[in-house]
Structure 1
Amino acid sequence: MQRTITVIGGGFAGLVAAITAAEAGATVTLHEAHATLGGRARTAEGPYRTNEGPHALYRRGPHWTWLAQRGLVGPLAPLPPREAARFRFHHAGALRRTPPLRFLRHTLRTAEQAPVDTDFRTWATRVAGPEAAAQAAAYSGVALFHHDPGALSARFVQERMHRAAALPPEATYVRGGWGRLVERLAGRARELGVRIETSSRLTELPVADGPVVVATSLAAASGLLGDASLRGESGRTVLLDLALRTRKGDPFIVSDLDAPGWIERFTAQDPSLAPAGEQLIQAQFPIAPEASKADGVAHAERLLDLGFPGWREREVWRREAVSGGRTGAVDRPGTTWRDRPAVDRGDGVYLVGDEVAAPGVLSEVSFTSAVEAVSLALRTRRLDLKST
């Protein structure tokens, strides 16, 4: 009997699930509520090709091998050596070319694995001192999108900090923005016969002859599954995108070590993201639940004043947004990824995305959960067929 799988959601997790199922011989239908695929991996069309916040592929991640084996990584945007030298750190109110020595030693140390049941601030203070601990917590915000990384599980923060600070760098950039990666994923899905229905918003689970993979946010999944327990903690961050007229000497990155915040000039490695003579800057500044978008924008502008002289007169385009509950799960002390909502929801329904019970960093969680969901779905389907 032909196996059938329905996927709800056409973002990164949904497309990976659809491809994985189709490669295993299943008949797959994918429903996407919007007119275009991609979810948070969409790249804006037009002169400024912005992602929804900083996006990068980590070479040591499980999805890197999976994409490479299928020829889906595509052209990458290498960083010119001269730009790598333009990494700046904001510390004690000033921009510096090098980070404090204690911070550097702590972020690169691998001798001691951080505990799960202690918060990062307490553990890092014990091993490196309070100043280095605060700096490391702020730096880790680039991979957390959370206003207070020090309050999270020490193991959770340590893993992300080491991945972000790895030498040689793990992060790689997709030329043209992540939308190009989505296009390749969608093309692969269609080649395999996946039926993709866009502008197909479902308000309840479909009556399907086979498993259903729900690849949406937890909030949307809660409504579809009628399960109010589907909740998770995530970061809340201000996203600021700017196009500036090009000026020689602008930094590539400004990392704030006084409070979580990150500015990156994405046209340093990929000039195609903005028109000639202009550069695209994307920044993320986590804010507390009670803080406003204006607070995050003010933080960003203070760092822009230090790192990008005359940026106000050079500004030709701007976009501001607050991203809440859309930045991946965070783990409090005493919890790990295993404590998040389970992938297998029972009755042939599977939940995937970056806030579910799967290992990895950032988009790796979406990938891992998608592959796991399809594996469970097909295994269960085979068992059901044997019992009939």
Structure 2
Amino acid sequence: MQRIHIIGGGLAGFTAAITAAESGALVTVHEAHHTLGGRARTAEGPYRTNEGPHALYRRGPHWTWLDRRNLLGPVATLPPLEGARLRFRLDGTLRRTPPLALLRLSRRAEQAPVDTDFRTWAIGQVGEAGARAAAHYAAVALYHHDPGALSASFVQERLRRAAALPPEARYPVGGWAQVIDRMAARAWNLGVRIETAARVDPDTLDALTRQGPLIVATSLDAARTLLRDPSLTWDSGRTALIDLALRTRRGDAFAVSDLDAPGWIERFSAQDRTLAPAGQQLVQGQFPLAPGESRAIGIARAEELLDLGHPGWRERTVWRREALASGRTGAVDRPGTTWRDRPAIDRGNGIYLAGDQVAAPGLLSEVSFNSGIEAALLALKASENRTTARTSTAGLDLKQA
């Protein structure tokens, strides 16, 4: 068989590599950085912060895919006592229970329309205040500054899963890097060649495609540059991130959802104490930003929420980090569009796309898994077709000779 080259050593890249190698293909993974993981990296040191998603949703397809291969590893669930410490900011005050309208929308069996924005549809169901609160709550799985403007069907699915009871979310113990390490070991044992610090540029791309199919498992922005394809665009979120290590205090909220504006703060060490040293807790917040808004605006909103859910947090802070994630938080679908309208996986000429902003279904990291599997299956088929064509040509030449 021809060799399949995969650019990107993150979730999508290793899903594709394992899928292809399990079918007997020769596979090489090229990772531009010295470490693997992409946005699923976990920081080194005492504070095990994740750069990308924090949770697996157990009803998602990648949960089963990982579990069948013993790649899931230990996962943490939220202790019941901590679950009771979920708080909601509404009208400037902290509440223990969400508005009834939010619960009604998250449990509504009727499928919301694709071609209507969520705000318009939800107002017709529960009124303006309830629609606004539900849209802001859904931002935990959207990272978008205006969820109400997105497709009603798109937002409803994410609202339903984010608000499910019992919660779907499960947390890889030790962070996402543990999952990546297991995936990389599985790929290596299958014979996959893994090359780090191996940046591929447009000028060297042709040499790889001559050897066989190519899977580009990078961010959409990086793929657009690499493939010199300006059509590789799709809407995504832009969000301010804040990570804090706080000295532990009894009574801190597990999470605070801002229903007055999109935003979320969560104490991740509540379910996984390995993420921070003893006596400290690791908190992360994400606050979506509108175009033109600065990171400082998002951080200011984060501090307001911290004041409510973590009293005295300033005096208890022992470590702090801020960041801005732009176009790195997955695809969002506008009214009238679905995942099928996103950039196609098959780019033609033996080139395939995988990642969290391409034409594959799923919630958050599930899109990377689904597109990685699909890209690998298409690459395998293309490789078999090329091999068959070459064998047929060689046979014909021999017969003629």
Please give the TM-score of this superposition, normalised by the length of structure 1: 0.98
In 2: Cα distance, 1:281 partner to 1:88 partner: 15
Give the Cα separation in 2 of the matches to 1:379 and 1:186: 23
Whole-Å separation in 1 of the counterparts to 2:366 and 2:53: 15
Q: Which amino acid aligns with 2:185?
A: G
RMSD value over aligned CA atoms?
Answer: 1.0
Is residue 2:172 matched to residue 1:171? no
Determine the structure 2 residue equivalent to 1:37.
Answer: 36
Q: Secondary structure at the match of 2:140?
A: helix
Tell me the number of residue pairs that the alignment of Structure 1 and Structure 2 aligns: 386
Work out whether residues 237 and 330 of structure 2, in 8 Å CA contact, stay in contact via their aligned partners in 1: yes
Q: Gapped runs of 5+ residues in structure 1? A: none
Show the counterpart of 1:207. Answer: 207
Report the equivalent of 1:49.
Answer: 48
Residues 323-334 of structure 1 mapped to structure 2, 5 A cutoff:
323-334=325-336
Is contact 2:33–2:196 with CA below 8 Å preserved after alignment? yes
- For 1:41 and 1:103, how far apart are their aligned partners in 2? 30
| Aligned-residue identity in percent | 68
Letter in 2 for 1:207: A
CA apart distance, 1:84: 1.1
Report what 1:133 is aligned to.
Answer: 131
SS at match of 2:160: helix
Alpha-carbon distance between aligned partners in 1 of 2:295 and 2:323, rounded to the nearest angstrom: 7
Contact 2:89 2:258 in 1 (8 A): yes
Q: Check conservation: 1:53, 1:239, Cα contact below 8 A.
A: no
Q: Could you report, residue by residue, the CA deviation over 1:328-382 in whole angstroms, capped at 9, with x for unpaired residues?
A: 0111000111111100000100011000011111111111111001111111222
- Structure 1 residues 54 and 224, CA gap change in structure 2 (3 angstroms): closer
Paired residues of 2:53 and 2:364 also in contact (CA < 8 A): no
Q: Which amino acid aligns with 1:342?
A: A
- Cα deviation, 1:284-313, whole Å, max 9, x if unaligned, reads 010101101010000000010011110000
Matched residue, 2:324: 322
**Is the partner of 1:255 in helix, strand or coil?**
strand
Which residue of the partner structure matches residue 22 of structure 1? 21
How far has the Cα of 1:206 moved from its partner?
4.6
1:296 aligns with 298
Deviations 1:82-116 (A, max 9, x none): 11111101111111111111222222222x10101
Name the residue aligned to 1:73: 72
Greater mean alpha carbon deviation, residues 246-255 or residues 206-215: 206-215
Alpha-carbon distance in structure 2 between the residues aligned to 1:3 and 1:210: 5
- Show the 5 A alignment for 1:1-388: 2-110=1-109, 112-204=110-202, 205-208=205-208, 209-387=211-389, 388=392
SS in 2 for 1:74: coil
Secondary structure of 1:207's aligned partner: helix
Q: Distance in 2 between matches of 1:242 and 1:202?
A: 35
Q: Distance in 1 between matches of 2:351 and 2:122?
A: 40
- Report the more deviating stretch, 45-54 or 6-15: 45-54
Partner of 2:399: none
Q: What letter corresponds to residue 49 of structure 1 in structure 2? A: R
CA contact (8 A) 2:287 2:298 kept: yes
Q: Take 2:10 and 2:191, find their aligned partners in 1: how far apart are those partners? A: 18
Cα distance between partner residues in 2 of 1:113 and 1:185: 36
Q: What amino acid is the match of 1:263?
A: I
- Structure 1 residues 226 and 196: alpha-carbon distance in aligned structure 2, compared to 1, 3 A threshold: same
| Mean Cα deviation higher: 50-59 or 187-196 | 50-59
Structure 2: which amino acid aligns with 1:36? T
Contact 1:4 1:210 in 2 (8 A): yes
When Rg is computed on C-alpha atoms for both structures, the one with the higher figure is: 2
Using the TM superposition, give the Cα deviation of residue 81 of structure 1 relative to its aligned residue in structure 2, in angstroms.
1.6
Distance 1:96 1:108 in 2: 21
The whole-number CA distance in structure 2 between the counterparts of 1:90 and 1:269 is 22
Q: 1:85 to 1:243 in 2, by over 3 A?
A: same
